[in-house]
């Protein structure tokens, strides 16, 4: 039997189906979403589907095609993250796509033949159960972000002529300051820091070592001067110091003193 597949129709379906899925997973896992990244992820899904059709892929071959494709989709859609987070995103994207595919086939079978097969019904039920678990889970990233939305801000850091942006958590108990200048300190998660920012710390230029006390003890942490722009109930600008840490779960953590501070100069 010969099956004709129109690439333009397949591309349109990829956008119609994948864009809402990418957005929904971003909301569920608490990630940011941009239309451009969603479109690029849809193109990756379209390419994988087209390749599977051209190769007339069996189930094992489809797994070989879609596993790296969905990992790449998660990486493109949500940016560079730890591998476990990227794998979790890819699995969520795949499960949502399976649910939608099963629902579409179930509706098509009912409309055209008046019957439904077990695979379609199982896909729909599985998708509904997973969706309910995700929404009802009080520990889900989306629920956490909704509960703490007023503690979130967009942090833009400019240092050595380079600009970096992070989704920051406003910690009302963070009173870290550089002791000489008394400027506030922003903490950036090391795994979320771009390579260019890590290089500035490795070069060692303008480094200040600041004593910081944590649950593991007190130590000296290297910091670099920067200019910060915080978007939270308005735009706030001030001079700060930046340090790196792997002990935080957010991309960045700032104190309220960064929002209330205005101006200031770094040495």
**pLDDT tens digits in sequence order for the chain, 267 residues long:** 555 655 666 667 667 778 888 887 887 776 777 888 888 988 888 888 778 777 887 878 877 888 888 899 888 888 887 888 888 888 888 877 776 666 556 555 655 665 555 655 665 566 666 666 655 554 455 554 554 455 788 999 999 889 999 999 888 778 888 888 889 999 999 989 998 999 988 877 788 898 877 655 677 889 999 999 988 777 888 899 999 988 888 899 998 888 776 544 444
Element (H, E) at 217: strand 217-231
- Three-state SS at 180: coil
CA atoms 190, 196, 201, 207: torsion sign: negative
Secondary structure class of 38 (helix, strand, coil)? helix
Predicted TM-score (pTM) of this structure: 0.46
Q: In this structure, is the dihedral angle defined by the CA atoms of residues 100, 103, 109 and 110, taken in order, positive or negative? A: negative
CATH of region 150-260, choose from 1.10.1200, 2.40.70, 1.10.3470, 2.40.50: 2.40.70
Neighbours of 169 (CB within 10 A): 20
Domain ranges across the chain: 7-145, 150-260
Q: Strand, coil or helix: what is 30?
A: coil
């Amino acid at each position: 039997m010969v099956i004709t597949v129109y690439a333009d129709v397949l591309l349109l379906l990829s956008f119609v189906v994948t864009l809402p899925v990418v957005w929904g997973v971003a909301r569920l896992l608490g990630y940011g979403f941009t239309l451009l990244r969603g479109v690029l992820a849809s193109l990756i899904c379209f390419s994988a589907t087209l390749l599977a059709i051209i190769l007339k892929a069996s189930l094992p071959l489809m797994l070989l095609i879609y596993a790296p494709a969905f990992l790449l989709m998660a990486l493109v859609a949500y940016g560079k993250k730890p591998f476990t987070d990227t794998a979790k995103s890819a699995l969520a994207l795949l499960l949502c796509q399976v649910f939608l595919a099963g629902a579409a086939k179930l509706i098509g079978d009912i409309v055209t033949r008046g019957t439904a097969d077990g695979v379609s019904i199982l896909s729909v039920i599985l998708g509904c159960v997973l969706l309910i678990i995700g929404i009802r889970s009080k520990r889900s990233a989306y629920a956490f972000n909704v509960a703490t939305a007023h503690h979130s801000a967009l942090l833009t850091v400019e240092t050595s002529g380079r600009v970096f942006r992070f989704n920051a958590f406003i910690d009302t108990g963070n009173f870290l300051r550089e002791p000489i200048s008394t400027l506030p300190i922003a903490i950036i998660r090391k795994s979320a820091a771009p390579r260019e920012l890590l290089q500035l710390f490795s070069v060692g230029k303008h480094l200040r070592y600041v004593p910081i006390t944590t649950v593991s003890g007190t130590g000296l942490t290297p910091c670099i001067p920067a200019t910060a722009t915080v978007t939270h109930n308005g735009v706030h600008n001030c001079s700060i110091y930046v340090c790196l840490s792997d002990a935080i779960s957010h991309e960045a953590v700032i104190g309220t003193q960064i929002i209330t501070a205005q101006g200031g100069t770094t040495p």
